[in-house]
Each structure stands twice: as C-alpha cells, then as structure tokens.
C-alpha cells in the first residue's frame, strides 16, 4: 500500500515539475528579451554614467564626476525645471482634454462613430510628422495659422508662435492634444464611462442634481482608477515622448532660450551633438529617478482620491 502511495506521490510531483517546466519554457523568450533589451541596458547605463565615455568609444572611470558636473550646471537645472513643468502641465491638459472628448462621445447621438474616428485620427499620425506639420502651421512669415488670423481680422498678423516666450507653451501644449497618448486616453476614458451605472445618474436626477453634481459626485469617483491610470501614462508619455514632439518643433537647444529643453532633449544633445555619452547616461539616470518618483507620488496620492469598488 505504501509503495502504491509513494508511486502516486512521485507521479504527481513529476507532473507538477513538467507543468512548471512548461510554464517557464513559455516565459523564457520574454525573459530573454527583458534581460537583453531592458535590464542590461539599464545596468549598462548606470555603469556608463560613472565614466567619461565618448561616442567614439574612449572610456575612463571617473566615479561621480558626471553627477557633480551636472548639479553645478545651470543648463541642467533649467532643463529639470522645464521637465517638471512640462510633465505636470501636459499630464493635466491631455487628461482633461481626453476626458472631455470621451464625455462628448458618450452622449447618445447620431454619427458617433464618425466623431470618434475624427477625434482619434490625429493620434495615429507619428509624433514627428505631427510636429513638423505644426511647425509649418505655426510659422511666423509663412505659417498657416497667421494667414488665417490675418484673413479673419483683415490685418497682417505675424505672431512668432514658437520663438516668443509668451506663446511657445500655448503652441506646444495645443499640439499635445493631438498626440497618440491623448487619443489612447480618450478611448480608455470612454470605456470607463460606459461602466458607470446609469441608476446612479437616475437617482441624481430624482434628487434634482445638475450636470456639475453628477460629474463631481458620480462620474469622477467612478472613473477615478482610470484617471489614475491615464495620469500615470500621461506622465510617462510626457517624460519619454516629449523628445519626438519638441525636437522638430524647437530644436535640440529647446528654443526659445531653453524654455522647451526638457531632459530628454538635453540627453540627446549631450550624447549625439556633444558626444558625451557618459554625461548623457548620468542625465538618463536622473530622468529614470524622476519618472519613478512621479509614479510613486501619483500612487501615493491615489489612496486618497481613487475609489475602488472593493
């Protein structure tokens, strides 16, 4: 009897091992990719930030000198300030705009599909192409926007949208409304809005509640997990994706006067124009920490403002 039980136990543990082997075998390709294309580059980046590696390959270990130089550089502090400002505003602007579009699409009306298509269409244009197109639109002498305004008010208008300190942020944040990230947020918000129970709105109607009360007391709390998700995605997009938007618009120096020189632009400039790969890696480490801190902060804030059904 004991022998039969032992054989059964052995058979079961063999099956379990095969199951685990199967699972790990299917995870292996992803794991190889993760190590090769994510983990190793991060470790290499941190190591390179401790050297004075140049683009032509010359490398010497210099410890924390890159960080010392960075923290004493006015260019870095300006870039950091611009990055935090740009990230915060872009996150807020794109999230609010995506929510507005989603709420418009959530209304029961004819041709909803066409509206959704029209709202989402700019998002499928590659960011670089979008930026170059808007650079032409926002041109001073030959820009489309200035021509339209001139026609409307019957006066020659030559606003230097992308080089004037008072208008550059307006132009840049306007363009962010058409990026892929905004379109993606809109779709996610839309699906979230569909899940809000209609009974809550009906109850609010019975109690005499208006649009604002419905929005702040029913809609927003119900979709708060989605708001958190989109806010985090918006931050990541602003930190990582701002390069593709700003480089064609304002150049690697973040014109005018460094006002749009986010860290990703500075990293590109230091690595590929100044050939200072080690210093660029140090900047990348800082950007990595900023992204992590923002993510942690958002999740920390979420405990107060995000409502989960359970």
Partner 1 sequence: MRRNWNVLLAVAILSVVLLTGCGGDETSSENNSSSKGIGTDQGSTGEAAEKITIAVWNEPNPSEELNMYAQCEKATGIDVEVTVIPESEYSSKLNQMVATGDDSIDIYVIWENDISNFAQVQGIDPMDDYLKDSSIKTDDFIDAVAQLSEGMGGTYGLPWCAATEIMFYNQDMFDAAGVEYPTNDWTYEQYLQAVEKLTVKAPDGTTEVYGSALPNVQTWWAGIGSAGDQVYNPATGQLVIGKGAVSFIDDCKVMVDNGFVPEPSSDTADLFAAGKAAMTWQGSWNIGTYGDELAFNWDIATIPTDEVKYNTLHTGFYSINSQSQNKESAFKVIEYLMGEEGQTINSKASGNPSAIKSIADKGAWKVETAITIDNWDAMTDSLNSGVFGYTCLPSGVTNNAIGAFEAAVLGQLTSEQAVENSSQYAKETIGY
Instruction: Select 139 or 295, whichever has its Cβ closest to partner 1.
Output: 139
Determine phi and psi for 288, rounding to 5 degrees.
-60, -45
**Is there binding between residue 290 and partner 1 (CB under 8 A)?**
no
How many chain residues bind partner 1 (CB under 8 A)? 54
Is 44 a binding residue for partner 1 by CB under 8 A? The answer is no
190 binds partner 1 (CB under 8 A): no
Site membership for partner 1, residue 173 (CB under 8 A) = no
Q: How far is the CB of 8 from partner 1 (least distance, A)?
A: 18
| Closer to partner 1 by Cβ: residue 143 or 183 | 143
Nearer to partner 1, 57 or 113 (CB): 57
Least Å from the CB of residue 142 to partner 1: 5
Instruction: Supply the minimum distance, in Å, between the C-beta of residue 263 and partner 1.
Output: 15
The Cβ of residue 201 has, within 10 Å, a number of other Cβ atoms equal to: 14
Nearest to 176 by CA among 85, 81, 231, 95: 95
Instruction: Pick out residues in 54-113 that bind partner 1 (CB under 8 A).
Output: 54-58, 69, 73-75
Backbone angles phi, psi at 276, to 5 degrees: -95, 80
What string marks each residue from 213 to 252 as x (binds partner 1 by CB under 8 A) or -? ------------------------------------xxxx
167 is a contact residue toward partner 1 (CB under 8 A):
no
- 153-154-160-165 Cα dihedral, nearest 10 degrees: -30
Q: What gap in Å lies between CA 239 and CA 83, rounded to an integer?
A: 7
Spatial neighbors of 163 by CB under 8 A, at least 6 apart, are 140, 255, 256
Q: Does 15 bind partner 1 (CB under 8 A)?
A: no
Helix (H, G, I), strand (E, B) or coil at 276: strand
CA distance linking residue 60 with residue 278, whole number of Å: 10
Binding mask 107-146 for partner 1 (x = CB under 8 A): ----------------------------x--xxxxxx---
Tell which residue, 236, 221, 227, 216, has the closest CA to residue 188: 227
Distances (CA, A) of 83 to 181, 232, 237, 255, 297: 18, 15, 12, 14, 16
State yes or no: residue 161 binds partner 1 (CB under 8 A). yes
What is the spatial distance between Cα 45 and Cα 278, in angstroms, rounded to a whole number? 8
Q: Which residues bind partner 1 (CB under 8 A)?
A: 18, 21-22, 25-26, 28-29, 32, 52, 54-58, 69, 73-75, 135, 138-143, 155-156, 158, 160-165, 249-258, 269-276, 278-279
């Amino acid at each position: 009897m004991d022998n039969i039980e032992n054989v059964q136990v052995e058979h079961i543990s063999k099956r379990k091992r095969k199951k685990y082997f199967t699972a790990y075998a299917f995870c292996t390709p992803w794991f190889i990719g993760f190590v090769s294309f994510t983990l190793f580059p991060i470790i290499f980046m941190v190591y390179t930030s401790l050297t004075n590696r140049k683009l032509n390959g010359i490398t010497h270990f210099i410890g924390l000198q890159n960080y010392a130089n960075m923290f004493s550089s006015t260019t870095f502090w300006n870039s950091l300030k611009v990055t935090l400002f740009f990230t915060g505003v872009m996150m807020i602007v794109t999230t609010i705009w995506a929510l507005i579009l989603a709420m418009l699409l959530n209304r029961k009306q004819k041709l909803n599909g066409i509206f959704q298509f029209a709202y989402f269409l700019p998002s499928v244009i590659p960011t670089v192409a979008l930026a170059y197109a808007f650079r032409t639109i926002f041109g001073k002498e030959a820009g489309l926007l200035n021509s339209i305004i001139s026609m409307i008010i019957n006066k020659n208008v030559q606003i230097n949208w992308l080089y004037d300190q008072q208008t550059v942020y307006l132009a840049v944040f306007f363009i962010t409304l058409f990026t892929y990230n905004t379109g993606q947020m809109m779709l996610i918000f839309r699906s979230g809005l569909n899940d809000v129970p209609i009974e809550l709105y009906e109850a609010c109607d019975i109690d005499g509640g208006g649009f604002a009360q419905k929005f702040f007391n029913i809609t927003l709390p119900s979709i708060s997990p989605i708001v958190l998700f989109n806010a985090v995605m918006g931050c990541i997009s602003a930190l990582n994706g701002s390069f593709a938007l700003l480089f064609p618009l304002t150049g690697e120096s973040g014109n005018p006067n460094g006002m749009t020189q986010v860290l990703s632009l500075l990293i590109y400039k230091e690595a590929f124009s100044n050939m200072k790969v080690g210093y660029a890696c140090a900047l990348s480490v800082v950007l990595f920490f900023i992204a992590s801190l923002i993510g942690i902060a958002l999740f920390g804030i979420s405990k107060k403002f995000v409502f989960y059904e359970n």
